[in-house]
Structure formats: C-alpha cells, structure tokens
Structure 1
Amino acid sequence: MGMRAAGWITMAIAALAAPQAVVAQVPSQASLDRLADTLGYRLTMVDNGPTCPAGIEGCFLTTITLTVPETLPADVPKGLALYFSFVNRLPLVESDIFTHRLINGDVQQLTLKPGATLRPGSTHEIKLWGVGSNFSKAFGMPNAYLVADGLEPRTIAATRAVIDPDTGLETLPFVAPMTDEAKLATKSDADKTRWLTVERAFAVQADRLAPEAKGVVILPKPAKAAQGKGKPVDLTRGVALTLNGVERSAVAPALAALGAPEGALPLAIRIDPAAVAKPEGYVLDAKASGIAITAHDAAGASHALRSLAQQAAFEKGRLTPLRVEDAPEYGFRGLHIDLGRNFHSRDEILKLVEAMAAYKLNKLHLHLAEDEGWRIEIPALPELAEIGSKRCHDPSEQTCILPQLGAGPDGTGGVNGYLTAADYVAIVRAATVRQIEVIPSIDMPGHSRAAIKAMEVRHARLTAAGKKAEADAYRLIDPADTTEYRSIQNYSDNTLNVCIPATYRFVDTVVDALAAMHKQAGAPLKTFHLGADETAGAWIKSPACKAMIAENGGDAGKLTPRFIERVTASLAAKGLRTGGWSDGMGHTETAAMPKAPHMVQTNIWGVLHTGAIREGHDQLNRGWDVVLSIPDLGYFDMPYAPHPDEGGYDWASRGVDPYQVYGFMPDNLPANAATIRNIHAEGKAIEDKPVLAPGHRVAGLQAQLWSETIRTDAQVDYMLFPRLLALAERAWAPAPWTPVYQAGASYEWGDRRVDAAKLKTGWQDFAGRVTAQLPMLEKIGVAYRVAPPGVRIANGKLEANSMFPGTAIEYRVEGGAWTRYAGPVAVGGAAELRSRSADGKRASRTVRVEPAR
C-alpha cells in the first residue's frame, strides 16, 4: 500500500559549541530564537547515481549546507540540537564536524565531534549518502528546528514552507532547484526515464490534442446518450418535483447540485427496479414538456440528477432535449484518503464527498491510523487521539509522538489533528445521503506506532495509579520482546504484538466504537479495513509468541496471516466483512477465511509490471471481492509526470498522468503492457500468471492518496484532480479498446490487439468533457491541478499547447508583462509561460523555454 519504498529520516544536530561572543549577553531563549531566525539552511540533491562509498549499494548523494550567521549571541544555549527531515535511510553521513546516529524512523541525530565548534559566518556541508533515489524536490521536508537544554524548541525560519500566491500550493524555498537531468533523472543507464520538459510535453500533447466539448459532456460517459430535436429544456424556469418510491432526503444533495429552484417545469422521479434492472441504473428523458427519471434505486436517481446537472451547467440551464440510459459496470468505485501520515480536515473530506457524488464514486476509504498519526476519537481510549494525533518535540513521547515528516516541534499546524466522533458521524451522514459507503481503515498489525505509543502513555498513567490489570488491558506490546527489526519506513517499534489478548481486545474496542458512530449516523458499518500489509520481522524473540510460533512450525512469518484470519473471523461474527491490502491478505489460508461470498475485500496494490497480476488473479480465483488499487492506475500520490517540480512519491511510477488512468483496462490486466511502461520507462511484456479462472471479474477500482508529502488541503485537491475524473470514467465502465481476456495470453508494448486509435479518440472526447467539468469543480471548491503548458520555440516563434482544450495560457519574454497566448508568436529570446484555471484565479507553475541552439 502506501509509502512504500522509502523511509523518512529526521536528524538532530546536537551541542553546537559557542564561539567568542560578538554581541552583548541576551537571555538564552532569545538567543535560541535569534539563531533559529538567522541560520542558513540549504538542501541540495547532488547525484542519483554517484560512485557509492564502500559497503553501500544503490546510493544517492544529497547535501545540507548550514550557514552560520555573522553575529552569534554570547550565550549560545547548551545542548543545542537541530532536527530536520529526510526521505531515505542514511547508512553514511559525512561531515567535518558532525557525527551521525539514527534514533528511530524519521528521527536521526548529528552531534559535534569532540573539539569541533561553529564560528560566525562559517559554512558547513553535510553529505548524506542515502539508499535509493531522490527524483523530486518534494522529498524535502520543512520545519527543521533547534532545541536546547531547558528551552522551548524553535523552527528554523529558512525551512518554513510558504504558499505560492499564484498557484495556491506549498513550496519549499530551502530546497535547491534540480536542473542536472544527466545526474538527477535516473540511477543507471538501464533507466530510460526522461524528465517531461516543456518541449517534450509539447510533443506529447500535440499528438493528443482534443477539440473543445460539444454535445453530451456527462462524465463518466453514459452507456447510451442521445440529444434530440425540439425546444430546449428550460431549467431556468425552475422545477416542479414529484417523487415515487424515494424520499426527497435520499436525492436532496443531487437536487441541490442541479440548482433549479421550485418552478413550473415538471421533474418526475420514479424508482422501478423492474423497468431498470441494474443497480444504480437510470433512464433520464428530458424534454421541453418535462423531465422524467426512472431509476433502479435512490443511487440511480441521484446519478441521473448528477448527469442532468452536468449537462445543464454546460448548456447554461437551457438543454437540448436529452435521453440517457446508464448504469455502472463496476459496483466498487472508490477513493482512499490517508489521514494518518498528515491530517486533512473534516471540511476537506466533506468537500471530497460531494465531488465523489458528482462523478458517481460510491466508496470512501478513510485511512484513520498510521505510524505517524491516529486520527479518530475512540471514547474508551482517549489517549489514542490526545497523544497519537499530535507530533511535537517530546523525546519521551508522553505528550505527543515524534515529529515525523517535517511536522515541526510545536504540535500545531494542519498536519496534526483528528476527527472527533461528531466529525466522523457528520462525514458518514454526508456520504450516506449521497449513496457513498464509508470504509474505515486502521492499519495493523504493522503501521501501528501511533497506537502503540498512545497505549504506552495509557499504561503508564494507570500503572502509576495502581491499576495494573486495567493498565495491561490495552497494552499492545510484550515488554519482554527483544526482537530487533526495521520496517520499510525505518521504525523499530511499529508492530502490534499478535500473540497477546490485549491486541484483540483493542481491535474489538476500536471496531465497536466505529460501529457505534455508524449507527448514530444511520448507516450501519459494513466493512472494516485492517490494512495487514508490510509487517516487519517482529515477534521472533517475544516470549508471548513462543507457543504461537511453535504452532506454526517455528515460522514467525506466519503470525501475520494468523492475525488476519482471527480478526476476520471476529469481524464476520459481528456481521462485518474484512478489507485488507493484497500482500497481507494473500498469505492467509483460504480455508481459514469466510466461505460466504463478498465477506472479504482485497485491494491489489502490486505494481502492474511486478505483482499486480499475480496477486489480482490469485485473489480473484479465491472468490474474494478484488478492488484494483494498483499504482499505475490509482496511486495519486505519485507524480503526474517525471519532473523534479512535480511532487509525490515515485517508488512505483515516475508519472501517473490522466491519459494513463483513462486508458487503463481493468478487465484484462496483461493487456496494459501495450500502453504502460515499467518503472524504468521500458516497454516490457507482462505474463499472465496465474491465469484468471472463468466467471471472475474485478469488483471495481479505487484511487489512493497517501499523504507523506501532502501537507495541505490544496495539495490534496491538486494531486487528486483531474486524475480522479479519469478514474471515475474508467470505474464506471470498462475501456472499449480492451481485448477479450484469453487465459495465458501475454502482451507486448504497443501490442496491436489493443486498439490505440480507439484509445486516442476516446481520450480526445474525454479531454473535452473534462474541460466542461472544471467550472463545476470550482463551484464545489476543488482546487484542481492546472497543468503547465507544453512549449517550444521553432523558427523564432513561440508555440504552446495544453493537456485539456480551452486552457488559457499566458507568456512573457525577458521579464515583461504577462500576455494571453492566442497562437504562435515571434520571440527574440527565452520566455516564461503558465496556464490558468477556468475561473482565472489560479495559475500553474511557471515554466521556461529557451530558443533552440
């Protein structure tokens, strides 16, 4: 699932010795504050493929440059330390004056070597030899900070993130520009990735240019839609609503989106499963004399209204007569939001719920707990939210957990926080009236550090009060366990002990609390997602696990499957189905899982060219509900394109753009080799092993947004949209260019069995419909990504194009005024360009193009 190949590293520089004072003495806290305000700090990515130091394989080199101010206070505080964040493991840190020590997870420490000092005006370069790669400026973390004995910590001013007023997005001024493609774009000659420069973007977009939308603009594209002749359907007159078989409350949000007041135009909604057989299906017939909607259920009626609202907005309230017959092909059309790594607000989630409904997505997967944060109030266990939701500088972790991912020392800011029970109930209610199921996720037994640390605080509190039995009731570790391990995120203590009763008591308490919230919201809990992925090699030396390991043939690796099986049985007894990520779920014994159909949901997160088909087909053949969450399709924390100025993790894909999402073929996974390259930008065949047994089909698709690098709500919007529109299109119906699945058939890059011409034509139609939807997204409040233009200068003329038709482009030459681009224009030198949002209020990042040499 999320993160996945890189850990994060926060480091401390300790005991900076004071040189001779050059100013009068001031209070120590003021001295620390002044140093934090004036210390220079620069993070520079140097080389992704250097010659590695002895004993290190697959390294890359980054440097941090500290510039000491010319003037230092007389009483530089004792025990001075500097914490900062980094994204990969660091087997070696080289410095003339600092010594390195790993603390845990993100947190590492540098201390001054004996006799070393910092002098006014001095500069110190620290070489960080990381394992892996750093292809993006987004891997830098903000909020480096100073601490000192007995003083309040202070954030280094130079490392604060700022919001760009033109884009509305967070930027990190301390991260040096990445400009050397030869050293920074790849790790080896085998990697064929190239940055999507403006010139390359121009060429790609020139081949896909789409006309502006006309006719039916509904998204997702309906199965059947036809415009007729005759007088327009005048919604500006208002509507006279009649309902048959459905309560107004069940369609109220969709009616609100339509925006038509009470009036004269008849609008009749009727629920008739006999007339419309497919769940969520509908028939919409809009004529000048009135509008009739016949639907299978309330969801179908809402979908019809949403389609009507989209078309009405495009035609300014006076529609060409329209008939639509439609129903989804896939029953699961999901969006996953990670609140654990960095918190995102109740208001942001409610906004996304409305956007999901607008484009007919029906499953909201809320990832509520991670190593880096617990984000839901559980009344019986208050420490979970009080301690686990807050990151600050408290090495004892008695008031908060460690300040991972650049959270800073203060415990403030939007990356901290949690949903109260009332918040969660409000979200479930809002989703339910939009026919969206909320699926809560608490990842375990791995990815559980925030819960473990919060329950340790609870244990200490109750133990001090003499309540030992109560203290032990929810302790999630075996204190006698001496196992040493490191998770993929570099934690040594993030895994629940699956051999003790307290762990299962904890699971029951959390699930019961969530079920109570769902009941209060009027929407019974149906599915609980337990994660179950990426469990580190824990428990081997836990006395509590000795018997359980022996029962499993001495293989501690089997304890995670036993945990999943036990929790699944417990959930089934409560009438709940289990969700989990495919790697953990795939190791369970099929016989130990529920026999009833649809009691197990598995999310496939293997990468297309590695594990996706193996896991997907295996788990489909088990009869489980398989949801495709694979990164090549739906990891929207991956960058839009391979470019250092595009944010997001890139362990699975260097670029997931809307075209790739739109073109995906869920019903024939091997066929995607024809259109999607591997992580090294190579066109490679995909073998169909194991083959898919007849009679099985994926339940649907889900978009994922993991939030390690996503700290603001605006960044959430940017990473999700417009890619989520492409996923909504593909989750509604399979791609028409999909070849019929044939067991054992493999596909090559560019395979002619995949109709590339049909894909391109489909994209051009889709791109036009996306442009038509942008004002609706703006009305909802979604700050979607505005892609920078593709640009070239050819024969002295500046030419520009866009991913989506109708996008406004501006240019300026040599620092001149911004001018609207209307077509090729002669220029005498370099130019800067940017795109504009549909409402003109936001801009893309600014790009630069030089004349060809």
Structure 2
Amino acid sequence: MDPKPLAVVRAEHGTVPVRPGDEHARIDPSLPREGYVLDCTSDRVELAGGSEAGLFYGRQTLRRLLPVDAVEGEVERVRIEDAPRFGWRGVLLDVARHFMPVHDVLRFVDLLAFHKLNVLHLHLTDDQGWRIEVPGWPRLTEVGSWRAESMLGSRIHGRYDGRPHGGFYTTADLRRIVSYAADRHITVVPEVDMPGHMQAAIAAYPELGNGFAGPVRTGWGISEHVLNLTPATLDFCRQVLDHVCDVFGSELIGIGGDECPTVEWPGGRELQAAFTAEMAAHLATRGRRVYGWDEILAGGAPPGAVIAAWRGTEPALIAARVGHQVVACPDVRLYLDYRQSDHPDEPTPVGTLLTLRDVHDYEPPADPLVLGAQANIWTEHMESLRRVEYMAFPRLCAFAEVMWGPAERDFADFSARLSDHLARLDALGVNYRPLSGPRPWDARPDAPGHPRTLDDRLAELREMTADLR
C-alpha cells in the first residue's frame, strides 16, 4: 500500500482531472532527495521532487489517488508533502535455494517499486545452487547451478521431491535486472556468499574445498564444506567479485560471511576474519565496500563494512556501537519465510510466528548508523513467484509503512487503508495471503514444516551471538 504520507492537506471541495504523465513536474533541490510535494489543489497537477527518485515516488502516490481500475480520471483536491524516514528500505530475495526466472524477478521489482522500497538484495549463491556465470569458470553454472532434487518441507522430516532443479543468470540477464530496477529507483545489491555456503562452487571445482568431492547440496541447512583459503582460492574469490563489480553498480557488495563452520580449518574462526579483510581490501580497489551478515563482526569487521544484522535485535546495536553502519533485519521480526499464523493450512510453517501486526509494530533501532531495515525472503519452501507473493504480501505492505512513514503508527488505521490496497493487489494479480487466512489450496501437506516458539528462538540467538558480546 502507499505508506502513510507525512502531511496531507485536503481542499474543501472539488476534484481535478488526472492523466498520469501529464502532471507538471520539476526538480526542487530544497526537498529531500526522495521527497516530493504533490499538489492537486488547482486545475492541474503540480509535482516537485528532490530528485528523479522523488518525482517517481510522487507519481506512485498520484497513481494511488485514482480508482483501482482507472489509468486516468478525477481525484479530490489535495496537497501531499512526503519523504521517507529511512534511506535503506530493502528486501532480500533468495534465488539460490529456488531459482527465479528473469521475468519473475522483474515482476517482483515492480511490486517493490509500487511500495516505494528501494533496495533489492539478491542472494545469488549458496550450498544448494550457484546462479551467476563467471568468465573463466564455466563449471560454476554447468555443475553448480543444478541439484539432483530438493527437500520437501523442513529438513527434520527428510523428505525429497526426486526432481532436478536449477538455473542461472547470464551476465546479460543480470544487467537487464539491474537496469530495470534502476529505472524504478531500486538499487540491486548482489551477494555471493563466502567462505561458507559454498558447496555448490566446490562441487563444480573440488580444488576450492578441503577434500570434498560431492554434488551440489540437496538438503536444506548448512554444509560444513567450506573454501580452503589457499592463495589460488583467494584469487578465485577476487575474480568472482571483480565480475560482480563489473555487472552491478551498487557501492555495497555482499560477501555473506554467515554460518561458516570451521571443522575443515586448522585455524578456526580467526581465518574467516582474515579472509573477510582480504576481500574487503580487494573490493576497496574497485571503489566498493563489504556488505556482510553480522557474523563478520566476530574478530573485527573491516573498516567501512556495512552489517546486515539478522540474529535477533542485539547485533544491530553491537555493530553501531563499534562504529559500523547497519541494516536491521532481525529474523524474529523480518524473516518473511516464517509462518504467518497457527492455522493448519499455512504452507510449510517454519520458524517463529510472524504476523502482519508483528511486522507493522517493528521499529529499527534509533541510531544514526542504522541505515534502515530489510525484510528477508528465504526460498527453501517457495518454489515459485506465487509462493513468494503469498509469503511476502501483505506483510511487505506493513514493512513499507514502517520504512517510509512516521514512527507513530496505528495498526487500526493501517488495516483500514490496507483493505483498499488489497484491491489494487487483486488488480495486479498478486497472490497475497488473504487477511481471513490461508485458502485450502495454499496448504502444503506434502511439505511439512517445523514451527518454533519465540522463547526457544531467542534462547538460540543469545547463544549464537555470544561471540559478539
């Protein structure tokens, strides 16, 4: 939905004709870069933006003023002054666990832009699949982009579907995604996870590993097969990052750094800190900075690294305290693969309960180093865009409200406006989760889940983050 604007002044009576594209638009440098003023109080529509991005968001608002099924018409006389509260309004889309064709990614980009979100974090590689071609390393896609089968539901059940799964993006594909997103004022931040979550790459090139000679991982969870950190392997990582820098214009380049077992390393955790420093130094030669999960704080993250704080709410505060910019994405508040209710027909219910209201009530830490927040969509249990839409919406509508609108929020007011917005999602053909609950065909009895209690998860997180305190 359109996030609640900062200021709305309605005229006493009358309407003004609107034909999108015919508005009188101008750049006003005195406005915030993403801010705008939309004035429909006279006989024509006036739009001022702090930049082209501001004009874009103003046009999104103008679009919402029209009836759901109209591309032009009469709107009430109103003046809206608006600007986002946070500069990073992001969504992670995991295309490693389940590959998403280019046209589906572009469709998802449109839905983010429709909700005034401005960062798409693409999780491109993992143990279960490598989705990006790299010059000179053809087996990454010939071998690493395919797995023999996929798990059905939570890994505790040990069920598999027996069907091969795979796919990858060519360089042209990725350039198209980046350009399409840029036209909608969305920055695509790529992530190639390293030095852990690398079994797909090691399956393609066993010399990158520590003696493992096996296939791309078919089960969910974390592989203990990690990079060997020899000079040749470090050079491989630099080549991968060079190609990523050639394709993506983002200042931040994701290198993951999360969930990296050390059983194959003689030196333990300090080796990962040295590895991260090496990659950060190389990215700096390209004018880029590291974007990594909060695990890279252990042992000291490189200067200038931006931290994606996911293991609960505490790591964001820790990262800011030691001087790092932060994107807050706590799993218990913003992981959209987590179950939406206790209804028995919720598809593959995993993780802690994360309702629409839970997302709406989330507030990022109040610290100047917190750039904003990011909702993460991990796709182990989402094999299609329709499944992604079901898990994402309308919770992403609530997230957009948090990121753009004022800190003071009222769930009843949000809910009243959401009802109208869902009609727009209907018109767009979005497979959102109905507010009344899942429909019978949303259930996945063949892919059972593993619900968790919040108390159990918080206890796990305290143990997981002990090395940061």
Bin of the TM-score, shorter chain as denominator length: 0.7 to 0.9
1:291 to 41, 45, 54: 45
C-alpha distance in structure 1 between counterparts of 2:220 and 2:261, whole Å: 8
Partner of 2:180: 430
Q: Secondary structure at the match of 2:33?
A: coil
Alignment of 1:296-695 (within 5 A): 296-314=50-68, 317-392=73-148, 408-411=161-164, 415-456=165-206, 475-479=207-211, 489=221, 491-493=223-225, 495-498=226-229, 500-518=230-248, 524-541=249-266, 549=267, 556-582=268-294, 584-589=295-300, 593-594=302-303, 599-607=304-312, 612-613=313-314, 615-648=315-348, 650-651=350-351, 653=352, 655-667=353-365
Shift of residue 327 of structure 1?
Answer: 0.7
1:623/1:488 CA distance change after superposition, 3 Å: farther
How much is the aligned-residue C-alpha RMSD, in angstroms? 2.6
1:530/1:512 CA distance change after superposition, 3 Å: same
C-alpha distance in structure 2 between counterparts of 1:291 and 1:425, whole Å: 35
Percent identity over the alignment? 32
1:730/1:403 CA distance change after superposition, 3 Å: closer
CA contact 1:283–1:294 (8 Å) conserved in 2: yes
C-alpha distance in structure 1 between counterparts of 2:247 and 2:222, whole Å: 34
CA contact 1:445–1:560 (8 Å) conserved in 2: yes
Give 2:24's aligned amino acid. Answer: A
Shift of residue 403 of structure 1?
Answer: 5.0
Give 1:373's aligned amino acid. Answer: G
1:635/1:480 CA distance change after superposition, 3 Å: closer
Q: Secondary structure at the match of 1:699?
A: strand
C-alpha distance in structure 2 between counterparts of 1:335 and 1:291, whole Å: 32
1:434/1:480 CA distance change after superposition, 3 Å: closer
Q: Secondary structure at the match of 1:360?
A: coil
C-alpha distance in structure 2 between counterparts of 1:734 and 1:529, whole Å: 29
Shift of residue 649 of structure 1?
Answer: 5.6
> Which structure ranks higher in relative contact order (CA pairs < 8 Å, sequence separation ≥ 6)?
2
- For 1:629-678, what per-residue CA distance to the aligned partner results, in whole angstroms no more than 9, with x for missing partners? 11232100000013442234634x1x11111111112235xxxxxxxxxx
1:299/1:329 CA distance change after superposition, 3 Å: same
CA contact 1:788–1:844 (8 Å) conserved in 2: no
2:11 to 228, 234, 243: 228
Q: Secondary structure at the match of 1:496?
A: coil
Give 1:375's aligned amino acid. Answer: R
C-alpha distance in structure 2 between counterparts of 1:774 and 1:639, whole Å: 20
Shift of residue 369 of structure 1?
Answer: 0.4
1:323/1:333 CA distance change after superposition, 3 Å: same
C-alpha distance in structure 2 between counterparts of 1:284 and 1:455, whole Å: 55
C-alpha distance in structure 2 between counterparts of 1:725 and 1:491, whole Å: 34
Q: Secondary structure at the match of 1:230?
A: strand
Partner of 1:243: none
Partner of 2:36: 282
C-alpha distance in structure 2 between counterparts of 1:433 and 1:605, whole Å: 29
CA contact 1:439–1:529 (8 Å) conserved in 2: yes
C-alpha distance in structure 2 between counterparts of 1:480 and 1:313, whole Å: 59
Shift of residue 322 of structure 1?
Answer: 1.3
State TM-score, norm by structure 2.
Answer: 0.86
Shift of residue 539 of structure 1?
Answer: 3.3
C-alpha distance in structure 2 between counterparts of 1:730 and 1:505, whole Å: 42
1:454/1:844 CA distance change after superposition, 3 Å: closer
Question: Is the deviation greater in 218-227 or in 656-665?
Answer: 218-227
CA contact 2:131–2:169 (8 Å) conserved in 1: yes
Shift of residue 600 of structure 1?
Answer: 1.8
* Greater C-alpha radius of gyration: 1
C-alpha distance in structure 1 between counterparts of 2:82 and 2:360, whole Å: 19
Considering fraction of residues, name the structure with more helix. 2
C-alpha distance in structure 2 between counterparts of 1:488 and 1:306, whole Å: 39
C-alpha distance in structure 1 between counterparts of 2:349 and 2:195, whole Å: 24
1:530/1:490 CA distance change after superposition, 3 Å: closer
1:380/1:734 CA distance change after superposition, 3 Å: farther
Give 1:656's aligned amino acid. Answer: L
Q: Secondary structure at the match of 2:350?
A: coil
1:289/1:660 CA distance change after superposition, 3 Å: same
Unaligned runs of 5+ in 1: 1-217, 239-259, 393-401, 457-474, 482-486, 519-523, 542-548, 550-555, 669-694, 737-758, 790-833, 836-841, 847-853
- For 1:589-636, what per-residue CA distance to the aligned partner results, in whole angstroms no more than 9, with x for missing partners? 25xx22xxxx321111112xxxx22x1111012222211111232100
Give 1:764's aligned amino acid. Answer: A
- For 1:685-707, what per-residue CA distance to the aligned partner results, in whole angstroms no more than 9, with x for missing partners? xxxxxxxxxx6342101010111
CA contact 1:580–1:602 (8 Å) conserved in 2: yes
C-alpha distance in structure 1 between counterparts of 2:56 and 2:224, whole Å: 48
Unaligned runs of 5+ in 2: 153-158, 214-218, 445-469
State TM-score, norm by structure 1.
Answer: 0.48
C-alpha distance in structure 2 between counterparts of 1:496 and 1:479, whole Å: 10
Question: Is the deviation greater in 326-335 or in 779-788?
Answer: 779-788
Shift of residue 766 of structure 1?
Answer: 0.9
CA contact 1:667–1:734 (8 Å) conserved in 2: no
How many positions carry a matched residue from both structures? Answer: 431
Shift of residue 362 of structure 1?
Answer: 0.4
